[in-house]
Structure 1
Amino acid sequence: MSKIQIYDTTLRDGTQAEDVHLSTEDKVRIARKLDTLGIDYIEGGWPGSNPTDQRFFQEIQNYALNHSRVVSFGSTHSTKKTPENDPNLDALIKSRTKAITIFGKTWDVHVKDALRTTQERNLEIIYNSVGFLRPRVEELFFDAEHFFDGFKANKEFALACLGRAMEGGADILVLCDTNGGTTPMELCRIIQEVQASLPEARLGIHAHNDSETAVANSLLAVDLGAVQVQGTINGYGERCGNANLCSIIPSLELKMGYTCLPENNLSLLTSTSHFVAEVANIGAFHRQPFVGKSAFAHKGGVHVSAVRKNPRTYEHIVPEEVGNKQRILLSDLAGQSNILFKARQYGFQLDKDDPFVLDLLSKLKDLESQGYEYAVAEASFELLLNRTLGRARKYFTLDSYRVLESKSDKKDQPFSEATVMVRVGGLQEHTAATGKGPVNALDSALRKALEKFYPTLAEMHLVDFKVRVFAINDSGTYSGTASRVRVLIESADHNAQWVTVGVSFNIIEASRQALEDSLNYKLFKDDQAKLTKAIKEAEQV
Structure 2
Amino acid sequence: MRQVAIYDTTLRDGTQAEEIHLTLEDKLRIALKLDELGIHYIEGGWPGSNPTDKQFFKDIRSYELKNAKVAAFGSTRNAKLAPEKDSNLKALVDCKARVLTIFGKTWDLHATKALGVSLDENLAIIGDSLGFLRPRCAELFFDAEHFFDGFAANPEYALACLGRAFEAKADVLVLCDTNGGRLPHEIGIAVEAVRKALPKVRLGIHCHNDSELAVANSLEAVRLGAEQVQGTINGYGERCGNANLCSIIPNLEAKLGIECIGPENLKKLTNTAHFVSETANLRPFLRQPFVGGSAFAHKGGIHVHAVLKDSRTYEHVEPEVVGNKQRVLLSDLAGRSNIMFKAKQYGYDLDKEDPSVQDLLAELKSREARGYDYSVAEASYEILFFRTMGWSKRYFQLINFRVLDATGPDGEPFSEATVMLKVRGEVEHTASTGHGPVNALDMALRRALLPSYPSLAEMRLLDFKVRVMSGTSRDTGGTASFVRVLIESGDKNERWTTVGVSHNIIEASWQALVDSINYKLFKDDPQKWPAQNPKGKGKKKNS
The aligned residue for residue 413 of structure 1 is: 412
Post-superposition Cα deviations, 1:186-205, rounded to whole Å, max 9, x if no partner, equal 11111111111111111110
Kindly provide the amino acid, as one letter, of the partner of residue 515 in structure 2: D
CA contact (8 A) 2:76 2:126 kept: yes
Kindly provide the amino acid, as one letter, of the partner of residue 414 in structure 1: P
TM-score (norm 1): 0.93
TM-score (norm 2): 0.93
The aligned residue for residue 487 of structure 1 is: 485
CA contact (8 A) 1:463 1:490 kept: yes
Identity over aligned residues, as a percent? Answer: 62
Alignment of 1:311-390 (within 5 A): 311-390=311-390
The aligned residue for residue 270 of structure 2 is: 270
Alignment of 1:96-107 (within 5 A): 96-107=96-107
Post-superposition Cα deviations, 1:159-203, rounded to whole Å, max 9, x if no partner, equal 100000001111111100000010011111111111111111111
1:33 and 1:374 map into 2 onto residues whose CA distance is 33
Query: 1:457 Cα deviation (Å)?
Result: 5.3
The aligned residue for residue 457 of structure 2 is: 459
1:185 and 1:437 map into 2 onto residues whose CA distance is 55
The DSSP-based 3-state class of the residue aligned with 1:156 is helix
1:245 and 1:266 map into 2 onto residues whose CA distance is 11
Query: 1:451 Cα deviation (Å)?
Result: 4.2
Kindly provide the amino acid, as one letter, of the partner of residue 506 in structure 1: N
CA contact (8 A) 2:484 2:499 kept: yes
The aligned residue for residue 303 of structure 1 is: 303
1:347 and 1:250 map into 2 onto residues whose CA distance is 31
Kindly provide the amino acid, as one letter, of the partner of residue 444 in structure 2: A
Of 508, 514, 517, which residue of structure 1 is paired with 2:515? Answer: 517
Query: 1:322 Cα deviation (Å)?
Result: 0.6
The aligned residue for residue 118 of structure 1 is: 118
Query: Is the aligned partner of 1:154 residue 2:154?
Result: yes
Query: 1:241 Cα deviation (Å)?
Result: 0.4
CA contact (8 A) 1:417 1:435 kept: yes
Query: 1:139 Cα deviation (Å)?
Result: 0.7
Q: 1:112 to 1:305 in 2, by over 3 A?
A: same
Q: 1:528 to 1:374 in 2, by over 3 A?
A: farther
CA contact (8 A) 2:7 2:229 kept: yes
Q: 1:513 to 1:97 in 2, by over 3 A?
A: same
CA contact (8 A) 2:472 2:481 kept: no
Query: Is the aligned partner of 1:54 residue 2:54?
Result: yes
Alignment of 1:52-451 (within 5 A): 52-262=52-262, 264-409=264-409, 411-424=410-423, 428-451=427-450
Post-superposition Cα deviations, 1:85-106, rounded to whole Å, max 9, x if no partner, equal 1111111111111111111101
CA contact (8 A) 1:465 1:487 kept: no
Post-superposition Cα deviations, 1:394-414, rounded to whole Å, max 9, x if no partner, equal 3333232211111155x3322
2:240 and 2:34 map into 1 onto residues whose CA distance is 23
2:25 and 2:147 map into 1 onto residues whose CA distance is 34
The aligned residue for residue 538 of structure 2 is: none
Post-superposition Cα deviations, 1:369-410, rounded to whole Å, max 9, x if no partner, equal 22212122222111111112222313333232211111155x
Stretch of structure 1 that moved more, 225-234 or 188-197: 188-197
Of 445, 469, 472, which residue of structure 1 is paired with 2:470? Answer: 472
Number of corresponding residues: 530
1:302 and 1:134 map into 2 onto residues whose CA distance is 60
CA contact (8 A) 1:76 1:126 kept: yes
Q: 1:51 to 1:481 in 2, by over 3 A?
A: farther
Query: 1:475 Cα deviation (Å)?
Result: 8.5
Query: 1:59 Cα deviation (Å)?
Result: 1.0
Post-superposition Cα deviations, 1:398-448, rounded to whole Å, max 9, x if no partner, equal 232211111155x33223222233335765444433333212222233334
CA contact (8 A) 1:148 1:177 kept: yes
Query: 1:455 Cα deviation (Å)?
Result: 3.0
Query: 1:487 Cα deviation (Å)?
Result: 1.8
CA contact (8 A) 1:180 1:209 kept: yes
1:441 and 1:82 map into 2 onto residues whose CA distance is 65
1:399 and 1:207 map into 2 onto residues whose CA distance is 60
The DSSP-based 3-state class of the residue aligned with 2:496 is strand
Q: CA RMSD in A?
A: 2.1
Q: 1:421 to 1:183 in 2, by over 3 A?
A: same
Q: 1:240 to 1:479 in 2, by over 3 A?
A: farther
Q: Which blocks of at least 5 consecutive residues in structure 2 are unaligned?
A: 532-543
2:239 and 2:450 map into 1 onto residues whose CA distance is 50
The aligned residue for residue 536 of structure 1 is: none
CA contact (8 A) 1:502 1:510 kept: yes
Q: 1:205 to 1:475 in 2, by over 3 A?
A: farther
The aligned residue for residue 540 of structure 2 is: none
